[in-house]
């Protein structure tokens, strides 16, 4: 297993722990990601692509999760990119239509705002 693959796996596991701690969501990483049609973590409401990288590639990551969403049976699942640089908090990319009614693109949210938004979506 390459160092990048190991770091990705650690980041996904770290994010699953974050979900449990902050949103009381217990989930595991998706293990069949090699198919190329899967994101890293899914819940009842969200489909997450998880990145632990110093160099940001937001548009590419967003494209990954949007493509992965096409292979999920739940049409209402919300694609999300969760990313974190070293010694930083998690940040999130979500569909712009959630807040602005736009038909494409993403918005970038800090951790505290994402938690509030996610709780409101989960409690609907």
Domain containing residue 82: CATH number: 3.40.1350.10
What six digits make up the tokens of 85?
A: 């640089």
Q: How many angstroms separate the Cα of 112 from the Cα of each of 5, 79, 105?
A: 28, 18, 21
The pTM score is 0.91
Residues 14-42: tens digit of each pLDDT? 999 999 999 999 988 876 555 556 789 99
The span from the CA of 28 to the CA of 110, in Å, is 23
Domain that holds residue 42: 3-122
Whole-number pLDDT of residue 38:
79
Residues 57-106: pLDDT tens digits? 999 999 999 999 998 888 899 999 999 999 999 999 999 998 877 778 99
Tally of domains within the chain: 1
Q: Give the whole-angstrom CA distance, residue 72 versus residue 91.
A: 24
- pLDDT given at position 101: 76
């Amino acid at each position: 297993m390459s160092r990048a693959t190991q770091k990705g796996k650690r980041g996904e596991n770290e994010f699953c722990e974050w979900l449990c701690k902050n949103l009381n969501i217990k989930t595991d990483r998706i293990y069949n990601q090699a198919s190329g049609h899967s994101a890293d973590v899914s819940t009842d409401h969200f489909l997450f692509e998880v990145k632990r990288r110093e160099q940001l590639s937001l548009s590419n990551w967003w494209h990954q999760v949007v493509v992965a969403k096409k292979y999920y049976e739940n049409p209402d699942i919300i694609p999300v990119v969760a990313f974190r640089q070293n010694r930083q908090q998690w940040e999130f990319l979500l569909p712009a239509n959630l807040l602005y009614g736009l038909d494409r693109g993403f918005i970038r949210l800090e951790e505290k705002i994402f938690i509030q938004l996610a709780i409101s979506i989960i409690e609907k």
